[in-house]
Amino acid sequence: MVEFFSKVAVEAKASDVRELLKLTKIPGMISFAGGLPSPDAFPVEEMKGVAVDVIDKHGYKAMQYGTTEGLAELRTLIKDIMAKRHVNTDISNILITTGSQQGLDLCGKVFINKGDKIACESPTYLAAISALKPYQPQFVEIDMDEEGMRLDHLEKQLQSEKIKFIYTIPDFQNPSGRSMTIERRRAMVDLANKYDVLIVEDSPYSELAYDQEAYAPIKSFDTEGRVIYLSTFSKIVCPGFRVGWICADEKYLSKYIILKQGLDLHTNQFSQYMIENYYSKYNMDQQIDQIKSLYRTKRDAMIEAIELHFPKSVKTSKPAGGMFLWVELPEGIDSKALLPKALEQKVAYVSGEAFYPNIPKKNTMRLNFSNSTVSEIHKGIKILGEILSEALL
Ligand code: PMP
């Protein structure tokens, strides 16, 4: 059988996290493992009316093939969203994708030849590693600190080897919850210009800022059209519709459009109409404020429970937004080895090693706070605290 597979398929392995997510379906399991938004944030009632409107107004078009670029009305809406995010652009610079995840795969298709080097934060988004790996790049991991990717380390790499693009998640990063400061965003563009490298800015969480306004995107400092900006409606409306976008200079976007045709020709027309009509019918600032207050409460509950129950030698990030919190255990403690104990007591988390493309730091873990209730958060963190205290004895 193996002889039928491509080399890429032979090397493709099911991710531990996807396997783990199956366990989280067990009744009673408190899961900090996935990256799921809270269903309480989904506008189910509102969408009933929107669906009827879409069928009444656009029924035939919603059921027909569309253009690869996506609905002009939705791209116009995204142009306005981008303006609010301090990026002035035109709809010719916007391509609708089947979630940001498709945007990531397309980055591989458009830019990566086997062996090309791409720089990324260490740790980085697990499913970006999975999306890009089949194109066989070499990942160059760049350390992070509380202010995001370490640009001094990045510059050393840029001086010594040719990097194709820098992949970064600057806002409330998945998995670490950290954000890149404004100074670093500006400086990263300067580095990209100096060393002739592209930046892929993956920003699904920027609007989920709980403590202060989100920082302006790296794209807003782009002076030479080097930043490919990816975003999505998954966290601010719902992920099930699978609608995301890429905002990039036309010289790059034209290739994304051609290569997307081999994947799905175009993004789901019905979903695009649903999102566009939802935005025109409802006050989105209010809707997003509701999601933010829901998640802020959960984030605060998790931080409070950690302060109460985790041993003091365990370090945790204090994310100002997004959906994740990052935990660093003392050196030598393997978070994966502790997972069976947690699962036995019906608590799931993701061991941090999955988020490193080359050199895993085994003493780390990612905790998701958006998908559990406040009481589950208190209960689950208490159990984890007991497991960690025992391991650190
Ligand atoms: N990038 C990052 C950093 C993410 O966390 C996610 C969602 N987990 C995505 C991209 C993909 O989002 P989408 O649902 O739009 O495909």
- Sorted by where each starts, the structural domains of the chain and their CATH numbers stand as 2-43+286-391 (3.90.1150.10), 65-281 (3.40.640.10)
- CA within 13 Å, CB half, 35: 22
What average pLDDT does this structure show over 266-283? 97
Structure tokens at 159: 């001086």
Residue of 229, 232, 326 with the most ligand 1 atoms within 8 Å of its CB, for mutation: 232
Work out the pLDDT band at 393, boundaries 50, 70, 90.
confident
Mean pLDDT taken over the chain: 95
| pLDDT reported for residue 362 | 95
What average pLDDT does this structure show over 311-327? 95
What average pLDDT does this structure show over 152-166? 97
Structure tokens at 189: 């563009």
Q: Hey, is 76 helix, strand or coil?
A: helix
27: left (phi over 0), alpha (psi -120 to 50) or beta: beta
Residue 28, pLDDT > 80, answer yes
The 10s digit of each residue's pLDDT in 51-102 is: 999 999 999 999 999 999 999 999 999 999 999 999 999 999 999 999 999 9
| pLDDT reported for residue 35 | 87
Count the neighbouring beta carbons within 10 Å of the beta carbon of residue 101: 22
Residue 234, pLDDT > 90, answer yes
Residue 233 CA, closest ligand 1 atom number = 15
Q: Phi, psi (5° rounding) for residue 119?
A: -95, 140
What residue type is assigned to position 110 of the chain?
V
Count the neighbouring beta carbons within 10 Å of the beta carbon of residue 80: 10
Compute the distance between CA of residue 144 and CA of residue 147 in angstroms, rounded to an integer. 7
Give the residue whose CA is nearest to atom 5 of ligand 1. Answer: 174
pTM of the complete model: 0.96
What average pLDDT does this structure show over 176-202? 98
Centre of ligand 1 from the C-alpha of residue 204, in Å = 6
| pLDDT reported for residue 13 | 83
Instruction: Provide the 8-state DSSP code for 114.
Output: T
The 10s digit of each residue's pLDDT in 331-364 is: 999 999 999 999 999 999 999 999 999 989 999 9
Compute the distance between CA of residue 107 and CA of residue 34 in angstroms, rounded to an integer. 24
| pLDDT reported for residue 254 | 98
Centre of ligand 1 from the C-alpha of residue 265, in Å = 21
| pLDDT reported for residue 17 | 72
Residue 232 CA, closest ligand 1 atom number = 15
% of the chain beyond a pLDDT of 90? 91
| pLDDT reported for residue 104 | 98
ipTM value, please give it: 0.99
What burial class does residue 61 get, using C-beta atoms within 10 Å of its C-beta: 0-12 exposed, 13-18 middle, 19+ buried? middle
The 10s digit of each residue's pLDDT in 109-123 is: 999 999 999 999 999
Residue 243 CA, closest ligand 1 atom number = 15
Give the residue whose CA is nearest to atom 8 of ligand 1. Answer: 35
Where helices occur in 202-264 by DSSP H, the ranges are 250-264
Please enumerate in sequence order all residues whose Cβ is within 8 A of that of 357, keeping only pairs 6 or more positions apart, or say none.
Answer: 120, 124, 129, 133, 139, 141
Closest CA to 18 of 34, 31, 36: 34
Compute the distance between CA of residue 152 and CA of residue 205 in angstroms, rounded to an integer. 25
Centre of ligand 1 from the C-alpha of residue 381, in Å = 25
Work out the pLDDT band at 377, boundaries 50, 70, 90.
very high
| pLDDT reported for residue 26 | 86
Distance of CA 299 to the CA centre of its chain: 17
**Are 30 and 347 within 8 A, CB to CB?**
yes
| pLDDT reported for residue 291 | 95
Compute the distance between CA of residue 21 and CA of residue 34 in angstroms, rounded to an integer. 6
| pLDDT reported for residue 39 | 92
State the Cα angle at 275 between 273 and 277, rounded to 5°: 65
Structure tokens at 274: 């649903």
Residue 16, pLDDT > 90, answer no
